[in-house]
Amino acid sequence: MKRVRVYYNLHKKCLSVLCKQENGWRLWLYADEISLLNVNFKVSEAGRQRVLREKKKNVHAFVEGDLSCLSSWSVFATKQVSYNPYKGASFVLKDCGTEIKNCRFATIQGKKILAEV
Segments forming the whole domain that contains residue 89: 3-116
Q: Which amino acid is at 38?
A: N
Query: What local confidence, expressed as pLDDT, does residue 117 receive?
Result: 82
Q: What is the total count of domains within the chain?
A: 1
User: How confident is the model over 73-110, as pLDDT tens digits?
Assistant: 556 678 999 999 999 999 999 999 999 999 999 999 99
| Residue of 3, 8, 23, 1 whose CA lies nearest to 62 | 8
Give the 3-state secondary structure of 20-65. EECCEEEEEEEECEEEEEEEEEEECHHHHHHHHHHCCCCCCEEEEE
Residue type, 25: W
Q: Which pLDDT score is estimated for 73?
A: 53
Cβ atoms of 5 and 63 closer than 8 Å: yes
In the prediction, which pLDDT does 106 show?
Answer: 93
Give the predicted TM-score (pTM) of the model: 0.90
Tens digit of each residue's pLDDT (9 = 90 or more) over 13-54 = 999 999 988 999 999 999 999 999 999 999 999 999 999 999
> Distance between terminal CA atoms of the chain?
21
Contact criterion met (CB below 8 Å) for 103 and 116: yes
Residue 4's CB is within 10 A of a number of other CB atoms, namely: 22
pLDDT at 82: 97
On average, the pLDDT of the chain sits at: 92
Residue 27 has what pLDDT?
A: 96
- C-alpha to C-alpha distance for 21 and 18, rounded to whole angstroms: 9
Q: Quick one: which H or E segment has residue 6?
A: strand 3-9
